[in-house]
Amino acid sequence: MSHLKWATLTSSQDEIQANLIASTLHEKNIPAVTSNKKDSMYAMLGAVYVLVPEEHFEEAKQLLIDEEIVSPDAFENLD
């Protein structure tokens, strides 16, 4: 049984936006999940991360740029 290694593709302060990004990737047959790391008491703290398998990272990144879903700088400085 093989295990996928997931990589953080991008993040958003907006949970809906992160879910829309993941849905767009699914529509193009790219596996994606979201990981909500927002603080439960202070929703303005933290972010929702979109993760894809490492083997799909470049394809997913290019798709989001080409379809103008996110800007190229959305892939920088992910903590």
**For 51-65, how does the pLDDT look when each residue is reduced to its tens digit (9 = 90+)?**
999 999 999 999 999
**Of the candidates 78, 23, 75, 18, which has an alpha carbon nearest to the alpha carbon of residue 50?**
18
Strand-pairing partners, residue 10, are 50
Q: What is the pTM of this model?
A: 0.82
In angstroms, the Cα distances linking 26 to 6, 44, 59, 79 are 15, 27, 12, 24
The pLDDT of residue 68: 87
Residue spans of the domains in the chain: they are: 6-73
The pLDDT of residue 1: 42
| Binned average pLDDT, 10 residues per bin, the chain of 79 residues | 83 92 96 87 83 96 89 68
The pLDDT of residue 19: 95
The pLDDT of residue 71: 81
- CATH architecture classification, 6-73: 2-Layer Sandwich (3.30)
